[in-house]
Amino acid sequence: MARMVAIWLDAMFEVRLGNADRVAALADEMQALVNDFALAQGRIACRWFRGWADARMEEPREGYRRIREAYEENTRLGMLAGGSETLGYAAEALLLAGDWDAAQHQLEEALQITSTHGERVYLPQLFLIEAAIARGRGQSAVALAWVRHAVAEARAQEAPWLELMALLELCERDGATAEDRHALAALVDRLPEAIGTTAFTRARVLLDRAKPA
């Protein structure tokens, strides 16, 4: 059981880093443990982690199906905690499929859970998904506002990695200010442990490009 918990936490960590290959491998490890030791706790979770990875690996519709089926089964069993994050995975899968309306529906379900149960842990990512949907619909000003909501929520949670992700999204788009870029630079300096991650590298490249010649 301890190994199952470790794999589960590792998968959540890799989701936040955006590492689809690693999440897929962890989902397979989780499934193997379920098969070998009948660990019911991981039977459903391995499916939504696999779905998240599938969506990132050019199978967004299949990824969505896996995530949604796992979420519904989990809900039928009365397990509601973490539902906003799982529905966030579903919304992102539909976003990757280019289905803005369906992604919005999943996102609204997720946001309802955060409102009803105070489940804020995945809220910055949900705001970034909302921004991506707006951007897909050509609503650049709305998208920018949602990214700023994500930055504010990450700061309220005192979650520097999530703040980095949101600030990076902000500074890579039109509408970012010099103050936004300064905040990103300050955060990069505070997170030496993030060196080597894709997000950190993107941030360094962006900041270096913005330096005066």
Which pLDDT value is given to residue 208? 87
Tokens 């301890």 belong to 2
Look at residue 1 in the predicted model and tell me its pLDDT: 66
Q: What is the pLDDT of residue 63?
A: 97
**Mean pLDDT for each 10-residue chunk of the chain (213 residues)?**
84 93 94 74 86 96 96 87 94 97 97 93 96 96 96 96 95 90 94 90 88 59
DSSP state of 99: -
User: In the chain, where are the structural domains located?
Assistant: 1-119, 126-213
Check residue 173 and give its pLDDT: 87
C-beta of residue 194 within 8 angstroms of C-beta of residue 17? no
- With the CA atoms of 93, 155, 22 and 45 taken in that order, what torsion angle do they form, in degrees rounded to the nearest 10? -60
With vertex at residue 140, the alpha carbon angle to CA 98 and CA 97, rounded to the nearest 5 degrees, is 5
Backbone angles phi, psi at 211, to 5 degrees: -70, 145
Q: Report d(CA 11, CA 16) in Å as an integer.
A: 9
Say if residues 66 and 54 touch (Cβ distance below 8 Å): yes
Alpha-carbon distance values, 201 to 58, 125, 138, 196, 206 (Å): 23, 20, 28, 7, 9
Question: Please, which residues have CB within 8 angstroms of residue 193's CB and are 6 or more apart in sequence?
Answer: none
Top CATH class, 1-119: mainly alpha
Tens digit of pLDDT for each residue in 137-146?
A: 999 999 999 9
Tell me the three state secondary structure of residue 204. helix
Task: Find out whether 14 and 194 touch, Cβ atoms under 8 Å.
Answer: no
* Beta-carbon contacts of residue 145 (< 8 Å; ≥ 6 apart): 131
**Burial of residue 133 (number of CB atoms within 10 Å: 0-12, 13-18, 19+):** buried
For 104-119, the pLDDT digits (tens) are: 999 999 999 999 998 9
